[in-house]
Structure 1
Amino acid sequence: MKLDHIVHFTHTNPEASSQFWNEKGFHVVTGGSHKNWGTQNALMYGPDFYIEWLTIEDESVAERSGHPLVKHLRHDQRGFGTVCLRSGNLDLLAKQIEGRGFRTIGPMDAERLTETGETIRWRLLFIDEPISSSLPLPFFIEWEEPDETRFAGLKQKGAITDLNEALRIEALVFSVENPAQSEARWSSLLGGAVELENYRFEFETCKGKERLREVRFESAEQEVVFEEGRYWVPRFG
């Protein structure tokens, strides 16, 4: 299993989010709209992951959707929300997770309409848990296309450039009240470890709201704070 993407909730529309990061030397694109959820996003890809800046496009649709991620967005409003892990078989994964004592929501179909009129499709699986100040467990995704095909298509469209392929995450740092307890819970969910094929999660002590605290990239030279999220990033130019 791999890290697929990081979800960062914002009040900033995708065009403004893209402009903010592009002015700092990154390559960020507008993703499109989730018409059934009332949300829209901006995306920055790495070689095997991406960051999603997710915001509400239509509040009335978002309120009616009942979607777990949209509920989380409406609860948190701003800042890092959660992380999504990539699986090749959500039906099998759901059975495995339920066998470990967790209740699941899904798998459910999902899609996004791009600005060029293309429909991107995938499936999602969530853990059935209340939204609160406690650290949310990750959710899971299964893409319609194989990874190789999907990433090749993104390169062809210009969403992934040489710069994007050079962006590698050093650590995802979660702030929690009890790091050992949180790590044990995530390890139980993931079948015995918090180490993925491409990343390992780190848990550090804090008081108060438990969430992803910062994203650290390799070769980081500067801190960038955006919509209550902290990034340690390389310096370009």
Structure 2
Amino acid sequence: MQLDHIVHFTRTSPEASSGFWNDAGFHAVTGGSHKNWGTQNALMYGPDYYIEWLAIEDRATAEASEHPLIQQLRHDGRGFGTICLRSHDLDQLAKQIEDRGFRTVGPMDAERLTGSGETIRWRLLFIDQPISSALPLPFFIEWEETDEARIAGLKQKGAITDFNESLRLDALVFSVEDPAQREAEWKSLLGGSASLENCSLVFEQGDGKAKERLREVRFESAGQEIVFEQGSYQVPRFG
């Protein structure tokens, strides 16, 4: 299974988030609005994943939302939230996950309105679990378009450049109270392996004071740290 995207909650606008990363030498873009959730995002793509910086746009709508991800955004406020894994058949995956002893929420339809007026659609599947300081299990996405068509469209729009395609991930590092227990839980959910096709998942002992969350996004050939909205990115050094 592949990482589809990382969700990083922010209190900055998509314009400010993308501006921060562009000023740092990367290529990020504003995404658009989730009108039903009251949120908006900025995005930075890699060759087969992306990072989403998700912020509240309409507080009244976000406060009223019962969507699991928006509930977590309200709980966390800012910082790394969770990760999303890509599936091509959420209905089949939901059955498999239920057979492994987990309860699911969805699949549910979702969409985003871009600045150009285009509506992008997908479906989501969540694990039924309380919103808390414990590490959230990943959620799952199925895009309306094929991967090939979606990537081709993003390249045509300039969201994915040659630079973006060079940004390969090495590992996602999670800070948890009991690394062995958390890794076993994720292996059970994912059918026996906690490894993804496009990056490693690492569970490390936390200090017991902070929430159990993704702590660090580590790119291949990392040479510097960039801290943004309470999240650590180990990124390549340019020049």
Q: TM above 0.5, one fold?
A: yes
Indicate the SS of the match to 1:221. strand
The aligned counterpart of 1:231 is 233
The aligned counterpart of 2:134 is 134
Could you tell me which amino acid in structure 2 is paired with residue 226 of structure 1?
Answer: F
The aligned counterpart of 1:76 is 76
Of residues 80-89 and 218-227 in structure 1, the stretch that sits farther from structure 2 once superposed is 218-227
Q: Does 1:92 align with 2:98?
A: no
Equivalents in 1 of 2:154, 2:91: separation in Å?
A: 26
Do the aligned residues in 1 keep the contact of 2:124 with 2:141 (CA within 8 Å)? yes
Query: What's the CA shift for 1:125?
Result: 0.2
Equivalents in 2 of 1:196, 1:11: separation in Å?
A: 29
Question: Could you tell me the percent identity over the aligned residues?
Answer: 77
The aligned counterpart of 2:193 is 193
**1:202-213 to 2 correspondences below 5 Å:** 202-206=202-206, 207-208=208-209, 209-213=211-215
Indicate the SS of the match to 1:195. coil
Do the aligned residues in 2 keep the contact of 1:31 with 1:40 (CA within 8 Å)? yes
Do the aligned residues in 2 keep the contact of 1:87 with 1:141 (CA within 8 Å)? yes
The aligned counterpart of 2:112 is 112
Equivalents in 2 of 1:198, 1:72: separation in Å?
A: 25
**Alignment root-mean-square deviation, CA:** 0.7
The aligned counterpart of 2:64 is 64
Equivalents in 1 of 2:64, 2:133: separation in Å?
A: 23
Equivalents in 1 of 2:222, 2:57: separation in Å?
A: 32
Q: Write the deviation string for residues 90-116 of structure 1: whole angstroms up to 9, x where unpaired.
A: 000001101111111000000000000
Query: What's the CA shift for 1:142?
Result: 0.1
The aligned counterpart of 2:45 is 45
| Unpaired stretches in structure 2, ≥5 consecutive residues | none
The aligned counterpart of 1:121 is 121
Do the aligned residues in 2 keep the contact of 1:98 with 1:104 (CA within 8 Å)? yes
Equivalents in 2 of 1:43, 1:158: separation in Å?
A: 12
Query: What's the CA shift for 1:236?
Result: 2.6
Do the aligned residues in 2 keep the contact of 1:3 with 1:86 (CA within 8 Å)? yes
Deviation above 3 Å: which 4+ runs of structure 1? none
Q: Does 1:12 align with 2:12?
A: yes
| Unpaired stretches in structure 1, ≥5 consecutive residues | none
